[in-house]
């Protein structure tokens, strides 16, 4: 029987729509950056990534998630405020 409350804690929340094909995928790129985003902000970031991906394309969505991760990483390391 499947426990519906089980959530794997080793993966952050991440978008279900992202670039992939037989030879390449943005999944690892996205997961690496989502780990830098606080858990309480991951759903919002994921939703915005998907919106950008479907409306503006892969480059804009990936740039958004990268810049957001850098912002939180820098704040965590005391370089600026998030």
Return all residues near 66 (Cβ < 8 A) that are at least 6 apart: 33
pLDDT one-digit tens code per residue, 23-80: 899 989 999 999 999 999 999 999 999 999 999 999 999 999 999 999 999 988 877 6
Q: Is 0.85 surpassed by the pTM of this model?
A: no
Residue matched to tokens 């915005």: 48
Residue 60 is predicted with a pLDDT of 97
Where along the chain do its domains lie? 36-76
């Amino acid at each position: 029987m499947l426990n519906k409350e089980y959530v794997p804690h080793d993966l952050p929340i991440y978008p279900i729509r992202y670039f992939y094909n037989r030879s390449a995928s943005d999944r690892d790129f996205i997961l690496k950056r989502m780990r830098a985003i606080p858990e309480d902000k991951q759903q919002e970031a994921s939703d915005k990534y998907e919106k950008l991906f479907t409306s503006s394309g892969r480059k804009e969505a990936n740039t958004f998630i990268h810049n957001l991760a850098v912002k939180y990483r820098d704040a965590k390391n005391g370089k600026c405020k998030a």
